[in-house]
Structure 1
Amino acid sequence: MLSLLDKCPRRLLALISAACVGLLAFGMYLQYGVGLEPCPMCIVQRYALIAVAIFTGLASARAGTGWRVSWSVLALAFAGFGAFTAARQSWLQWFPPEFATCGRDFYGMIESYSLSRAIPMIFRGSGDCTAVDWTFLGGSIANWSFVCFVLIGVVLLALLARSRKA
């Protein structure tokens, strides 16, 4: 793995970007194919994943080390933010609060608010952040999202550490 970091860091960054796009596609499948409603924290994690995909894609676009390091640092920051949000959602799923107030009904938003207030609410999601609707190998979507963000962050940290030594 360390030789891969030294030999072709741009390819590794492109692979991270492609993996993020794959994770986003899987999230869209769960939403539109399976019918799961994303909660506001899920939407925030999607935005963080989009940012990581864009920044790692930009980091892999040019050969310059400074270019790669700058975009990788931004990608690392968003991976950390995504990991924090996923960890918080996992915590809420393990220890749910008494009153779950995580989102609103779509039609209720349109009826209750003006269009200028309802449109931003639509992008916040409407599912319950404490609900575990889907699991894989015993982990919820938030748990697996946390694992993915941490793995991306570790690889980005290793890339940054290796580029600093060089």
Structure 2
Amino acid sequence: MNTYDNTDNIILKHLTFRTLCACLFALSVVATLVAIFYFQKHLGLDPCPLCIFQRIGVWIMGVFAFVGMLVNPKKLWGKLTLWGGMALGALWGLAIVGRHVWLQHLPADEVPACGPGLNYWVDTLPILQVFQEVLKGSGECAEIDWQMLGFSIPELTLAMFAVFLVILGVGFARILKKQM
């Protein structure tokens, strides 16, 4: 057995459901704090409707991770229910951010026109129509206001959701392995 195998076994040995949930909860809190306090408050970048929906995905995952961290269910169905909620939040966010990245890469003449803000839609439209309008995207969602190493905020967020899903996949495999 080489050193890599030993390291891998040590990491997996300490990867419990509670540890997985604590890790995902901490990551969701950090992501939320960066979005609100750095991008929104410090840089003054107001979130577009798609950004807000991405935050909802992070929050859904974070709430289920927080519950999993506190409760730490022993039964498989309890773990799978909480895991499913975390996966749902991460997949929701991944789908929304995928649409956001797609909008940012459209040619300028194909970008949808800017419409009224999310607050107006929430106040005047039924909730299902609000979802439809947000998912259509608008010109403000296609703007690139900030970049790091050439990547826009939505592109970095896409990577974040991919990491969340990898962690969830490893955790799911671990849960199933322990139950067998």
Quickly name the TM-score band, shorter chain normalised: 0.7 to 0.9
> For residue 17 of structure 1, what is the aligned residue in structure 2?
25
Structure 1 102/11 Cα, relative in aligned 2: closer, same or farther at 3 Å? farther
Q: How does 1:67-106 map to 2 (within 5 A)?
A: 67-96=78-107, 98-105=110-117
> For residue 144 of structure 1, what is the aligned residue in structure 2?
156
> For residue 57 of structure 1, what is the aligned residue in structure 2?
66
CA RMSD of superposed structures (Å): 2.8
Is the 1:65–1:163 Cα contact (8 Å) retained in structure 2?
no
Is the 1:20–1:50 Cα contact (8 Å) retained in structure 2?
yes
Where does structure 1 differ by over 6 angstroms across 4 or more consecutive aligned residues?
none
Unmatched 5+ stretches in structure 2: 1-7
Is the 1:39–1:103 Cα contact (8 Å) retained in structure 2?
no
Deviation at 1:2, TM superposition (A): 5.7
Structure with more of its chain in helix, by fraction: 2
Is the 1:37–1:127 Cα contact (8 Å) retained in structure 2?
no
Instruction: Find the aligned partners of 1:2 and 1:43 in 2 and give their Cα distance.
Output: 39
Deviation at 1:102, TM superposition (A): 5.0
Greater relative contact order (Cα 8 A, min sep 6): structure 1 or 2? 1
Deviations 1:104-123 (A, max 9, x none): 2589x4xxx9x9428x87xx
Instruction: Find the aligned partners of 1:106 and 1:54 in 2 and give their Cα distance.
Output: 24
Deviates more, 1:153-162 or 1:61-70: 61-70
Q: When the two structures are superposed, what TM-score results if normalisation uses the length of structure 2?
A: 0.75
> For residue 14 of structure 2, what is the aligned residue in structure 1?
7
Percentage identity across aligned positions? 27
